[in-house]
Structure 1
């Protein structure tokens, strides 16, 4: 069994050095690109998931 732990891409809070906690800070353009790039890497490597668990916090 393998587990992949993925943190969100760069958010507006990260950009401004704010510790966001449960605050809703959207991803920056870079953060969106980071997320897309990781998804493409999973596809390229043929990594598939049986389940995905994610927070409902906006990022």
Structure 2
């Protein structure tokens, strides 16, 4: 898996075409981001770090 494909560091990957040549990896990445646990993490991240929601996505 390429660096940044998952985890918070990988969130900006959504806004690029880095995974365009890897449809199965892109599907895995999209499923991972759609998980309820990840959604909770994204919701709580700004509060925990004291940043705005816009800054965290």
TM range, normalised to the smaller chain?
0.3 to 0.5
Q: Point out the structure with max Rg over C-alpha.
A: 1
TM-score, normalised with respect to structure 1: 0.34
Greater relative contact order (Cα < 8 A, sep 6+): 1
